[in-house]
Structure 1
Amino acid sequence: MITVHHLENSRSQRVLWLLEELGLEYEVRRYDRDPETMLAPKALYDIHPLGKSPVIVENGITIAETGAIFEYIRDTHGAGALMPDAGTPEARDVTYWLHYAEGSAMNPLLMKLVFTRLPLGAGALLRPLVKGVANKAMDSFVDPRVAEHVDYWEQHLQKTGWFAGNRFSLADIMMSFPLEAAAARAGAADRPAIADFLERIHARPAYQRALEKGGPYAYA
């Protein structure tokens, strides 16, 4: 059986959702974030040297990184589900979005989170200066980059409503977290196609079951 080492309010929620969509049996070992730092607990270092989530373990095999986990589950348990036919443009699109979601998409969103929280860690005297520097970085670089990606998603979703072809696939599960994060932090929910996509995925029964098993998830 697959064991998912799952951190609350994290990208690993997608792994639970994927497993629910495929109807696979699994167990969840939940970890809470530190309430002050919001970092993962040190217990995750016992599972993987980097102490990150998600991590899955099956038959003595430990796999980290969401994209690698998705590919393992697809190849080992997917039986072709949630995947277009091999060799098609849609199948290539799935591969693209699996890599893009954790590569190009998350970088500016993480920078926005870091610069937003940066003043909170500064002392009272330095806080105005740090906040000014952080705001300058966001206004001049981070927010324009985030907007580029949000525009890209909106334009793509306007075509079929999905990320790879005209039906729900692995790509949509993988891309859910960047869109949910951007909806929470960057106003992406104001875009019609993105808002419609989020409403449809949140209504899926498998998504709801994953929430029940995963616990708190601020982006739903």
Structure 2
Amino acid sequence: MLVVHHLELSQSERIVWLCEELELEYELRRYERRADNRLAPEVYKALHPMGIAPVVSVDDLVLGESAAICEYINVRFGGGRLAPPPSDPDYPGHLFWFHWSNATFMATKMMELALALGGGDAGTVPFVAERSARARDLIERRLGEAPYFGGRELTLADIMMVYALTTSRAFSGAPIDHLPNTRVYLRRIGARAAYKRAMAKAEPGMEPMID
């Protein structure tokens, strides 16, 4: 049995959504953040040596890291259907956005968060501010060219990207009013039945941050 260990308001939301898109049978175990510092509880940290979300387990296997989990579940349980084949013209774009999400976009957002936690302002650090602006521009341009990050159809690239554009804003409060293509895209995602089911299970009582 596939077990998804979901830490509230975290990247493990992606895995719940993936399972719902693939209509898989899985067990969801939800963990609340600590009240004192809003970090993961010790029981969650003990699941994997890195001590961070997401984590899934299948029999004796315990696997961490969003992209690795997405690929594993899509191939093992989903028949690979949320990734285009190499012969598809959307394949390079899918690959780029799938990897760019955490390798560049979330890394930049984590720099912003670290500066904020230290009492700094990312806007005053040119390297971070410029990197963040380029990322937003790149996202807007892509979503003006294609309905999904992966191209014509929803792929694992979208599963990876959406958290960084939605729930992660619960920590930063960053507005997206100035990003019209992004807002149209997120409304498209928010209308998906699988996304609605996933968010109701992962973050009960929370309105998805699609606007």
Structure 2 length normalisation: TM-score?
Answer: 0.89
8 Å CA contact retained: 2:98, 2:158: no
State the shift of 1:45 in Å. 2.8
* Structure 1 residue 139 corresponds to structure 2 residue 127: no
Work out the CA distance in 1 between the residues paired with 2:149 and 2:207: 23
SS across alignment from 2:125: helix
Unaligned runs of 5+ in 2: none
The equivalent of 2:7 in structure 1 is: 7
Structure number having the greater helix percentage: 1
* Structure 1 residue 158 corresponds to structure 2 residue 158: no
Greater CA drift, 183-192 or 152-161: 183-192
The equivalent of 1:168 in structure 2 is: 154
In the superposition, relative to structure 1, how do residues 149 and 218 fare at CA in structure 2: closer, same or farther (>3 Å)? farther
Q: Alignment identity in percent?
A: 37
Aligned-partner residue type, residue 131 of structure 2: R
The equivalent of 2:79 in structure 1 is: 79
Deviations for 1:168-194, whole angstroms, at most 9, x for unmatched residues? 222111110222236964333421110
Deviations for 1:84-114, whole angstroms, at most 9, x for unmatched residues? 2333331232222221111101112112122
Q: C-alpha root-mean-square deviation of aligned residues, in Å?
A: 2.0
Aligned-partner residue type, residue 27 of structure 2: E
8 Å CA contact retained: 2:199, 2:208: no
After TM superposition, the structure 1 = structure 2 runs for residues 1-220 of structure 1, keeping only pairs within 5 Å, are: 1-119=1-119, 134-135=120-121, 137-141=122-126, 142-180=128-166, 181=168, 185-216=173-204, 220=209
Structure exhibiting the larger radius of gyration computed from Cα positions: 1
State the shift of 1:6 in Å. 0.6
* Matched positions, count: 205
SS across alignment from 2:77: helix
SS across alignment from 1:78: coil
The equivalent of 1:124 in structure 2 is: none
Work out the CA distance in 2 between the residues paired with 1:171 and 1:62: 23
Structure 1 length normalisation: TM-score?
Answer: 0.85
Aligned-partner residue type, residue 149 of structure 1: A
Work out the CA distance in 2 between the residues paired with 1:110 and 1:45: 19
Greater CA drift, 144-153 or 77-86: 77-86
State the shift of 1:75 in Å. 1.2
Unaligned runs of 5+ in 1: 120-133
8 Å CA contact retained: 2:11, 2:163: yes
Aligned-partner residue type, residue 77 of structure 1: F
SS across alignment from 1:209: helix
Work out the CA distance in 1 between the residues paired with 2:111 and 2:83: 32
Work out the CA distance in 2 between the residues paired with 1:189 and 1:78: 35
8 Å CA contact retained: 1:82, 1:168: yes
Work out the CA distance in 2 between the residues paired with 1:167 and 1:189: 25
